[in-house]
Structure 1
Amino acid sequence: MSPQPDPAANRPGTSTSSSGLVARLRANFLAGLLVAAPISLTVYIVWAVISFIDTQVSSLFPSSWGSISHYLPGFGVLLALIGLTVVGALTANIAGRLVLAISEALLGRMPVIRSIYSAIKQVVHTVLAQKAEAFREVVLLEYPRPGLWTLAFITGTTSGEVRDCFEEEMVNVFVPTTPNPTSGFLLFVPRRSVRVLSMSVEDALKMVVSTGILTPEDDKTVG
């Protein structure tokens, strides 16, 4: 006896509904991934930083203090904040400034350590004291060849010996890599060669990290 055909197999819409269900499940999975991945990575990075600071700071104190940081995550961070505040208070008076000047003088006499300390000090002062217009403007730059454009950031106006090599105004431009904007290239570019955008630095970084998936809207076309 020949097998009877399954009526459901020829029922219209069965395969369509199955494919639609798979598409919805895939869309929900991707949506969940887009929501959970940034949160999970942020929590992981913050936890790793706190754990690292706890371990380093707790090692400077008696073992009993280290056990406290084991049960109270962030205790080492709190100690570090208190310690930095105390150091800042001490350096505000005459005796503290004298100790700081002597320490810097000693570091300045050490050949290798002198260069490292000077570089780190300049970077920290630039970032914390905001002595430079770093990452203030987002620009389009024709790079790495004519016809190709990339997002970049103006980090300041070119000065010093590099500026003396050119007759026109030059700017320091940082071209970030994708998807890791912490690395990139420093270029000295004529100001006329960059196109300044109204895009915020935050939106530009989001665009770089997302490899162009997150594209901010043009304020001129909104409203």
Structure 2
Amino acid sequence: MKRYFITGLLIWVPLAITVWVLSLIVGTADRVLQILPDAMHPRTLIGRNIPGIGVIVTLFIIFLTGLLGANFIGQRFVVWWERLLDHIPLVNKIYSAVKQVSDTLFSSSGEAFRKALLIRYPHADAWTIAFLTGTPGGDAANHLQGDYISVYVPTTPNPTSGYLLMLRRSDVIELEMDVDEALKYIISMGVVAPPKTASIATGATGRVSDKPDLLQNFPETH
């Protein structure tokens, strides 16, 4: 009976969590309908609420915004809007920080989270997975002698929180692992392991010794 019960849990728990997450997303997106005028609300046009219509409306608004922002007039409007926000105290700090992060993460030309790394953390005898995010900038770069990179160490099972570390390039190993595979490995707390690849010999410092140093090509942002 215990074995059957556990088997039932393994079937229902992932399904229940998936349904819960999708319901949360759909419910959040449906709240977007509250910004629509009553004349455009599906309840007025059709006579009833349609669950999930908010997802379609949200995706359409995002697509339409991107379409308008990609042309000359839209770009001028975005510049004017950002200048307006830049003159509002406190708002300018928050907006500027969030925009820099979003531009780095979502821009097609960005390099953030493009490489999964293996680093020694939190001490010399332990290893963890991290992601390459750039090179140290600002005054921090003036105090670091040598070739350093910035890496993000996510927590598990919630990778949205973590730690920023600045390490020597020679102290990290670039993994033959996609970022998606690495994130899945972290979120599952190591249960869902990516497929194994051919082992690569490493030197005493932990640098990959017999393949091109791809980290060396990462642009500096001093």
- TM-score class, shorter-chain normalisation, is 0.7 to 0.9
- CA drift of 1:62 comes to 0.7
Instruction: Name structure 1 gaps, 5 residues minimum.
Output: 1-24
- CA drift of 1:187 comes to 0.6
- Higher helix share goes to which structure? 1
Deviations 1:170-207 (A, max 9, x none): 11111111221221111111111112221332332232
Partners of 1:178 and 1:211 within 8 A in 2: yes
Give the corresponding residue for 1:99: 77
- CA drift of 1:106 comes to 1.2
Are 1:145 and 2:123 counterparts?
Answer: yes
Partners of 2:42 and 2:50 within 8 A in 1: no
Partners of 2:148 and 2:167 within 8 A in 1: yes
Which residue of 29, 35, 47 corresponds with 1:53?
29
- CA drift of 1:219 comes to 1.6
Between Structure 1 and Structure 2, how many residues are aligned? 197
**Identity fraction in percent:** 36
- CA drift of 1:66 comes to 5.5
Which residue of 156, 174, 178 corresponds with 1:196?
174
Distance 1:203 1:220 in 2: 16
- What root-mean-square deviation, in Å, do the aligned CA atoms of Structure 1 and Structure 2 show? 2.6
Are 1:112 and 2:90 counterparts?
Answer: yes
- CA drift of 1:134 comes to 2.1
Letter matched to residue 209 of structure 1: I
- CA drift of 1:57 comes to 2.7
Which residue of 149, 152, 166 corresponds with 1:174?
152
Shift in CA distance, 87/136, structure 1 to aligned 2, threshold 3 Å: closer
Q: How does 1:1-223 map to 2 (within 5 A)?
A: 25-62=1-38, 65=41, 67=43, 71-220=49-198
Distance 2:103 2:140 in 1: 22
Deviations 1:12-54 (A, max 9, x none): xxxxxxxxxxxxx433433443343233222221221111121
Letter matched to residue 2 of structure 2: R
Shift in CA distance, 182/84, structure 1 to aligned 2, threshold 3 Å: closer
The 3-state SS of whatever aligns with 1:172 is strand
Distance 1:114 1:69 in 2: 42
Instruction: Name structure 2 gaps, 5 residues minimum.
Output: 200-222
Partners of 1:58 and 1:66 within 8 A in 2: no
Shift in CA distance, 204/27, structure 1 to aligned 2, threshold 3 Å: farther
Shift in CA distance, 96/89, structure 1 to aligned 2, threshold 3 Å: same
Q: Which has the larger radius of gyration?
A: 1
- CA drift of 1:119 comes to 1.7
Moved more, 40-49 or 57-66: 57-66
Partners of 1:152 and 1:174 within 8 A in 2: yes
- CA drift of 1:96 comes to 3.5
- CA drift of 1:126 comes to 2.1
Distance 1:110 1:123 in 2: 20
**What TM-score results when the alignment is normalised by the length of structure 1?**
0.75
